[in-house]
Each structure stands twice: as C-alpha cells, then as structure tokens.
Amino acid sequence: MAKKYHTVSIDFENKTYKFDLVSIGNPHAVCFVDDVSKIDVDGLGSFVENYKYFPNKTNVEFVQVVDRNNLKIKVWERGVGKTISCGTGACASSVCAIMKDMVNKNVTVQLDGGRLHINYDEENGVTLTGGAEFCFEGRLDL
C-alpha cells in the first residue's frame, strides 16, 4: 500500500510527538499513542490545532491501536475543542492506521460518544457506519 500521508514531529511539554497529516476533505493530524487515557487532549490538542504548520488550523486525533480490528480515539476538533465523536476523524485515523499496516481494512473505532465502523477499499474509498445519537438541545433568544 502506498504511503499517502506526511509525518511531522511536534514538541510539547518536553516530549516529541509524531503526527501523520492526512486529509479526508478536511485536515487531520493523527498521533498514535500507547494509551489514549494518558494524553492531555485539551492541552496537546489545542496546541497542535494552532501550531505553525497549520495556518488554517487542523483537527487532531490521538489513536490507540487495541488490536488488528479495533482502535480507540480521542478527538480535538478544529474550532470546537474536545468532542465525543468525529466521523472524519475516525475515517482519517483508520485509513492512516491501515496504510501503516497497524489494522485490517475493516476496523471498529471506539470514541467517547460510541462506536463507529470504518471500511477502507482502495477502489471505493472509505465507508463509515454507526449510530447517530441526540446529545444536545439549545435555545437562543434574540
């Protein structure tokens, strides 16, 4: 499988993190880590979103490979902050993990908001399936 991403190193709080830069219609910086629960998503996510490499900002995903069929992801969404789920982030992270031969071409992604299923086919592209959950209601009085 051809390499279709670019990797950069970013220093944060005396540690160097490697991010694979991918686009799935919008920009993503994907960082593979041993344990997503130990990542400072707020601090590092915000830092990377606004890093000098990204003049228009970027989405940031922290990805833990559980096994060949499962990923865990924490998301920092561009312009929003930490979110419980992100479809394009799940797709970008999965495709990146597939290209690096870390997972199979059909993978389940566990996010704080639930599970998504990603399938990658070089001919047909990326397919995402999963549920949609109501998570917020608001009212604005003008």
pLDDT in tens, 60-110: 999 999 999 999 999 999 999 999 999 999 999 999 999 999 999 999 999
pLDDT in tens, 19-47: 999 998 999 999 999 999 999 999 999 99
pTM of the model: 0.90
Domain that holds residue 50: 6-130
> Is 47 domain-assigned?
yes
Q: What is the pLDDT of residue 19?
A: 97
Q: Could you give the number of structural domains in the chain?
A: 1
Task: Read off the pLDDT band of 136 (50, 70, 90).
Answer: confident
Dihedral (CA of 35, 6, 41, 89) sign: negative
Q: Do 103 and 117 form a contact (C-beta atoms < 8 A)? A: no
Asked if 28 contacts 89 with a C-beta cutoff of 8 angstroms, the reply is: yes
Q: Which residues are CB-contacts of 88 (< 8 A; sequence separation ≥ 6)?
A: 24, 25, 26, 28, 59
Residue 136 inside a domain? The answer is no
* Confidence band, pLDDT 50/70/90 cuts, at residue 1: very low
Q: Does residue 139 lie within any of the structural domains?
A: no
Report the distance separating Cα 84 and Cα 22, nearest Å. 20
CATH number, residue 67: 3.10.310.10
Look at residue 57 and tell me if it is in a domain: yes
Average pLDDT across the chain, whole number: 93
